[in-house]
Chains A and B, each alone.
Chain A
Amino acid sequence: MNIHEYQAKEIFRAAGIPIPPGEVATTPDEAEAIARRFGGTVVVKAQVHAGGRGKAGGVKLAKTPEEARTVATKILALTIKDLPVQKVLVTPAAEIASEAYVGIIVDRARKKPVFMVSAAGGIDIEEVAAKTPEKIMYLPVDARYGLLDFEAQQMGFFLYSDAKLARAAAKIMKQLYRAFLSSGASLAEINPLVVTPAGEVLALDAKMVVDDNELDRRGELAELRDESAEAPSEVQARNANLTFIKLDGNVGCVVNGAGLAMATMDLVKYYGGEPANFLDIGGSSNPEKVVNALRIITADANVKAILFNIFGGITRTDDVANGIVTATKQNPLRVPIVIRLTGTNEELAMKILQDNGFSASSDMDEAVKKAVQLATGGTSA
């Protein structure tokens, strides 16, 4: 789960990391009022779940409250990577002597949380990693012990030769690790970590991605989810316990299991079609899930044919068949449907479908080919 910069900053601040104050505005009026309260130059920053905000014009300086209103008006009208900007963070501009990067991610290869720090901050860290890898220090953490003091010091001195700055940075590393751990994050990032001309070390930006699997035991974090910042169909799917990602094609896919769902999309493409979505109804499915899945897929006007590909292991195919029958009784389909079912309770499922006027195949390739034909035929008609 992505959270906004202002939310991540609250978490970092609570862990003790020095961060300049800031307030969120949803209208130009509010942005102007906040800028007036702070006085002096402010930064207005789009709060949206997309990288590259600066390049997209989502981060601007404003010298006066009036200017804050003007830039907030512009930023609140932006759409960055398909996501409309609905909030801005207004924060006093800091003077910057140097910029560094500090990040921590769970690294699948090392199977550990790994710190990445670089004195070449403020810009795209992936670019630094690709072009000048020697400018990045990687520090894997043994999660059983946490970040040790000497490790934090090593990183501090990697960033700053001045002992006072190095110690301040080391303290921030410890605080960041604590915030990362207590939030069940898979990524936490400060970019940039700056030194001011007065010699203070400050975090000017904050980013955090929370592991979705943590939300059950961290209710307070689940509340940070901003559904207005996500695609409505994906919100609807998540609330129905489905995994759904909208794509641009016209073959709507309903599959059980992520791997098979991806392989089904690939096969649609293999036979000359384009998948309209990724949709995984998951393991122990019930008819209700199928009803929800069909509702989400048929809401997409691009969809010209619907393809079910169900391999019943835990999933009972008769549950899926009952779901299809129930859903289509509630909302008759306006596009053709192709059903492939095999596995647990297959005979029963086939009978349910036949009794209700559906046909089904047990062969994946056959079903995908047919769905692609129907979808392309539907387009030209």
Chain B
Amino acid sequence: MSIFIDESTTVVVQGITGRDGSFHARQMMEYGTRIVGGVTPGKGGQRFENAVPIFNTVADAVKETGANTSVIYVPPMHAADAMMEAAAAGVKLIVAITEGVPVLDMTRVYPFVKERGVRLLGPNCPGLISPGKSKVGIIPGRICAPGPVGVVSRSGTLTYEVVYQLTRAGIGQTTCVGIGGDPINGTNFIDCLEAFENDRATKAVCMMGEIGGTDEQDAAQYVMKRMKKPVVGFIAGQTAPAGRRMGHAGAIISGSAGTAAEKIAAFEQAGMGVARRPADFVELIRARLR
């Protein structure tokens, strides 16, 4: 088992003829993801790699292929519209990879997708992978392996780092999810923790947070009150100065809220394992799988 995506996931790629979209569409196809269509307005009727049909609109793509998932690689100024187009077309999961989406756009997108009952992952995220089954997004497939651990993270490359160390140590994953580093995103830690708690194959969860906001503290509360499965957490930005945006729009300490110390304390209070550095995940998870 896994969360959000598996062998039944059928994907339409928005922006399939663009530089990033075409590269990652090929990567996903190589991994075995069922890419059933692409969307580039004006190129409807053509084929990508002589195989995947291209449509002018997501509505056409969904109607013709029955795709249940969309992945978005369109430029930031068009990404909000692309997300709403996918939600209106009736897919169940939207994965928005695009980085640099204006936050005010997201204040309109969020209620739009929510009231249609669609799950949005991202924007500004690496997507997700259920090793051996499907990957939607840009997480490198070869660093993952099937196994019993769920991974959820606000970061991209830090996720890779932890997954890579787990895989090297022989610990595989059910699903690895990157929720993205923007201030407003569609899926949060709690959504993923809930899904992992309900997923029979997942036996333990790794959670990588960052400074800024209170999502990690809320997640810790959720772990304490609702979860039976063990969760190990890590917070990036322990050395970050206050008031500075550390690359991710969300990674900023404002006032006394959102510091690494505060979040780590919340993890400890919730009885979670705390990884002081990425490498600590291996032993902490191993101990909890026994």
Contacts and interface: CB of A to CB of B under 8 A. Distances in A.
Interface of A: 106, 108-109, 111-113, 126, 142-144, 181, 184, 186, 211-214, 216-217, 243, 245, 247, 255-263, 265-270, 275, 278, 280, 283-284, 311-315, 342-344, 364-365
B201 interface: no
Contacts of B153: 259
26 contacts: A106-B107, A106-B184, A108-B184, A108-B250, A111-B110, A113-B104, A113-B107, A144-B111, A211-B102, A212-B249, A243-B246, A245-B244, A245-B246, A257-B155, A258-B210, A259-B158, A262-B237, A262-B247, A263-B234, A265-B239, A266-B238, A270-B277, A280-B247, A313-B140, A313-B156, A344-B140
Interface residues of B, number: 59
Contacts of B126: 313
B168 to A, nearest CB: 10
B203 interface: no
Contacts, number: 162
Contacts of B106: 111
B247 A270 contact: no
B212 to A, nearest CB: 8
Given A211-B104, A343-B143, 9 more contacts: A106-B183, A111-B110, A126-B255, A213-B100, A243-B247, A259-B181, A262-B211, A262-B236, A283-B99
Nearest to A180: B104
Contacts of B72: none
**Across the A-B interface, the 10 shortest Cβ-Cβ residue pairs:** A259-B155, A258-B247, A257-B157, A259-B158, A143-B107, A262-B236, A260-B157, A108-B183, A262-B237, A280-B247
Contacts of A259: 153-159, 181, 208, 210, 236, 248, 251
Contacts of A364: 161, 278-279
A181 to B, nearest CB: 7
A262 B103 contact: no
B206 to A, nearest CB: 13
Contacts of A112: 107
Interface in B197-215: 208, 210-211, 213-215
A265 B240 contact: yes
Contacts of A266: 236-239, 260, 277
Interface string B123-134: 000100000000
A111 B210 CA distance: 18
Given A106-B184, A213-B76, A270-B276, A262 B251 contact: yes
A247 B101 contact: no
Contacts of A267: 277-278
